[in-house]
Amino acid sequence: MEIKSVVVIGTGTMGQGIAQWFLQQSLTVEMVDSNFEFAQAGQAKIYDQLDTLVTKGKLQSADVEKFKPRLQVKHLAEIDPQADLIVEAIYEDKEAKKDLFRKLDEMMKPNAIIASNTSSFPITELGKDLSDARQKRFLGLHFFNPATIMKLVEVINGLETDRSISTELITWFNQKGKVACECNDAPGFIVNRVARNFYGESLRAVETYDLEKIKEVDKVMREVGGFKMGPFELMDLIGIDVNLSVTESVYKAFFDEPRFKPHRLQKEMVDGKRYGRKTKKGFYSYE
């Protein structure tokens, strides 16, 4: 499989990391966001990250100087229709995603692959309005945060996805140092399904906002459980808003299965705009 150019749509937490990872594979990357200034800020942030990696001795300065001009910020109407792969990482909003895919289906070359980084929506449903030919080239590519570091990529086939494409993509990612695995198109795929209980039971363990209890749970899970991050630290990193919408979506998709039920505290944090690191305040403070 030859992938030379990628378009990443949605340049928030995930889109930035995904764009940077592709850039570091020496690909041409276009970044699009409905808020053009977000995309520009994302590009500046990626440049900073690359420079930091040079300072730390993890990348060669000559390589970074080659990468930088390959990253461009575009409006959706201006993207290269010949791009090989499009990765969507916009808000977890089903209708907005479907609307975007319909546009991309018309704009992009016939053999372009269109992928969604959705955390929880069924791939078959997201792709169902696309042309028959495009549905074969439509699939889920679920990266993890931060996408430049986390190795796992869940590759999700919809009912119509051509299996040879996902198989080739898995090989391609694995050759580039990722750990790509094929997942069923079931709510939450693998990690987000298993992780619902990691977050849900932790929220039930503290019940109401109490920083000392929160720290205690994180400490136990890190130091005894062997997790790299505790559940509350991880929710702050992912975004409590994103985490809540994933929980709601998995809960609904499993027909209100009680073990996936969102917790009141999650909702309370979101209502108070305490989304985690991105708003500088979540379960912890990042001022």
Question: Catalytic annotation on 154?
Answer: yes
What is the Cα–Cα distance from 139 to 75, expressed in whole angstroms?
A: 23
Output the smallest distance, CB 237 to ligand NAI, in A.
7
Of 28-36, 51-59, 210-218, 252-260, which part binds ligand NAI (CB under 6 A)? Answer: 28-36
Output the smallest distance, CB 21 to ligand NAI, in A.
13
Site string for ligand NAI, 231-270 (x = CB under 6 A): -------xx--x----------------------------
What is the Cα–Cα distance from 145 to 232, expressed in whole angstroms?
A: 15
Instruction: Pick the catalytic residue from 117, 142, 157, 249.
Output: 142
Contact 150, 144 (CB under 8 A): yes
CA-CA-CA-CA torsion sign (181, 182, 184, 189): positive
Q: Which is nearer to ligand NAI, 33 or 185 (CB)?
A: 33
* Tokens of residue 17, six digits: 């990391």
As a whole number of Å, the CA-based R_g of the chain is: 19
Site membership for ligand NAI, residue 38 (CB under 6 A): yes
Compute how many other C-beta atoms are within 10 angstroms of the C-beta atom of residue 175: 11
What are the helix (H) ranges across 137-190?
163-175
Interacting residues with ligand NAI between 64 and 103 (CB under 6 A): 89-92, 96, 100
Interacting residues with ligand NAI between 101 and 120 (CB under 6 A): 117-119
Contact 276, 240 (CB under 8 A): yes
Among 13, 20, 135, 247, the residue binding ligand NAI under the rule CB under 6 A is 13
Rounded to the nearest 5 degrees, what angle is found at the Cα of 15, between the Cα atoms of 10 and 17? Answer: 165
Among 5, 6, 7, 11, the residue binding ligand NAI under the rule CB under 6 A is 11
Residue indicated by tokens 């009912």? 159
What is the Cα–Cα distance from 233 to 191, expressed in whole angstroms?
A: 17
Site membership for ligand NAI, residue 10 (CB under 6 A): yes
Determine phi and psi for 151, rounding to 5 degrees: -80, -30
Q: Which is nearer to ligand NAI, 106 or 207 (CB)?
A: 106
Instruction: Pick the catalytic residue from 116, 117, 119, 157.
Output: 119
Output the smallest distance, CB 228 to ligand NAI, in A.
14
Of 27-35, 102-110, 122-130, 194-202, which part binds ligand NAI (CB under 6 A)? Answer: 27-35
Half-sphere exposure of 80 toward its Cβ, with a 13 Å CA cutoff?
19
Determine phi and psi for 155, rounding to 5 degrees: -110, 120
Q: Which is nearer to ligand NAI, 6 or 90 (CB)?
A: 90
Query: Directed axis angle between helix 240-253 and helix 231-238, to 10°?
Result: 100
Question: Catalytic annotation on 174?
Answer: no
End-to-end alpha-carbon separation of the chain, Å?
A: 45
Question: Catalytic annotation on 192?
Answer: yes
Instruction: Pick the catalytic residue from 30, 154, 160, 233.
Output: 154
Output the smallest distance, CB 233 to ligand NAI, in A.
13
Site membership for ligand NAI, residue 148 (CB under 6 A): no
Q: Which residues bind ligand NAI (CB under 6 A)?
A: 9-15, 32-35, 38, 89-92, 96, 100, 117-119, 142-145, 238-239, 242
The catalytic residue positions are: 119, 142, 154, 192
